[in-house]
A and B are shown apart, each in its own frame.
Chain A
Amino acid sequence: MATKVAAAAVDFTRIYSTLGLGKETIAALQAFRKRHADAQRIHGQYASQPTTVDFSHYRSVLKNQAIVDEAEKLFKDFKPVTYDVNAHIKAIEAFETKAVAKAQETAEKIDVELKELQATLANIEEARPFEDLSCEDVGKAHPRIEEAVATMVKKGKWTVPGYKEKFGDLSLM
């Protein structure tokens, strides 16, 4: 029952299109789905076939009754070999829990990345043009500049070497 519920819950088209999986992963997933569909088809095919043998019909048709008796005896004695599938199921369940945990972890990671990207996008959208930049903004962004200027002023250094050559000044002398 659990498998049916899981199959109903998984929307494969969404997985293929929206999760951005790699080509190899999608190919593996498709192969797995095909295998599952094939297994289901074969199972349905064999389940619909009759499992009983009408021995009375053979008794009426065949002259050799002994062979029919022997066949019936063999048929009744036949017991299908039972496999212990619990180990397999356990392994599959362990794998499933691991896969689910990993998927959740990946989803959380992607959520965090998405949030960061959105924050970056908002930052880019809200950024002001270069002309509107003020000294205060630069000072806030780099407090080290403020500290450097404070030490410069304390030491009595009021000018910046190279500034006059680059930008000039307004003094007439």
Chain B
Amino acid sequence: MPQLIPFYFVNQLSFAFLTLIALVYIFSKYILPLFTFQQVIRLYITKLSNKS
């Protein structure tokens, strides 16, 4: 039944969305904040070393 062919991709599609959501969550929660953290600390210790 050729009319059912698009539904054969629902499996792939759902996993792709799930993976995307998981990646967005992991990046925004655990990986990308580390870069901001690093920037803040770089500025902080630079200011500290300028003070002394």
Q: Closest CB-CB distance, B11 to chain A, in whole Å? A: 34
Asked if A163 and B45 make an inter-chain contact with CB atoms under 8 angstroms apart, the answer reads no
Q: How large is the interface on B (under 10, 10 to 19, 20 to 34, 35 or more residues)?
A: 10 to 19
Closest to A149 in B: B37
Take A135-B38, A139-B37 as given contacts and tell me if A160 and B32 are in contact as well, using a CB distance cutoff of 8 Å. Answer: no
The answer, yes or no, to whether A78 is at the interface (CB within 8 Å) is no
A46 proximity list for chain B (CB < 8 A): none
Q: Which chain A residues (111-152) contact chain B, with CB distance < 8 Å?
A: 133, 135, 138-139, 142, 145-146, 148-150, 152
B51 → A minimal CB distance (Å): 15
Q: In the complex, how many angstroms separate the beta carbon of B23 from the nearest chain A beta carbon?
A: 17
Is there a chain A Cβ closer than 8 Å to B20's Cβ? no
Q: Which residues of B contact A142 (CB under 8 A)?
A: 44
A139 x B41 contact (CB < 8 A): yes
Contact present for A149 and B44 (CB under 8 Å):
no
A83 is an interface residue with CB less than 8 A from chain B: no
From 10 to 51 in chain B, residues with beta carbon under 8 angstroms from any chain A beta carbon are 28, 32-46
Binding site for A on B (CB under 8 A): 28, 32-46
When C-beta atoms are compared, the residue in chain B nearest to A158 turns out to be: B36
Give the interface SS of chain A, mostly helix, strand, loop or mixed.
helix
Is B36 in contact with A162, judged by CB distance below 8 angstroms? Answer: no
Interface centre among A138, A145, A162, by most B CB within 10 Å?
A138
Of the residues B28, B39, B45, contact of A160 by C-beta under 8 Å: B39
B32, B33, B35, B36, most chain A CB atoms within 10 A: B36
Q: Which residues of chain B are near A167, meaning CB under 8 Å? A: 39, 42
CA distance A135 to B39 in the complex (A): 10
Contact partners of B36 in chain A: CB under 8 A:
149, 152-153, 157-160
Residues in A neighbouring B40, C-beta threshold 8 A: 145, 148-149, 152, 160
With a cutoff of 8 Å between Cβ atoms, the chain B residues found around residue A146 in the complex are: 37
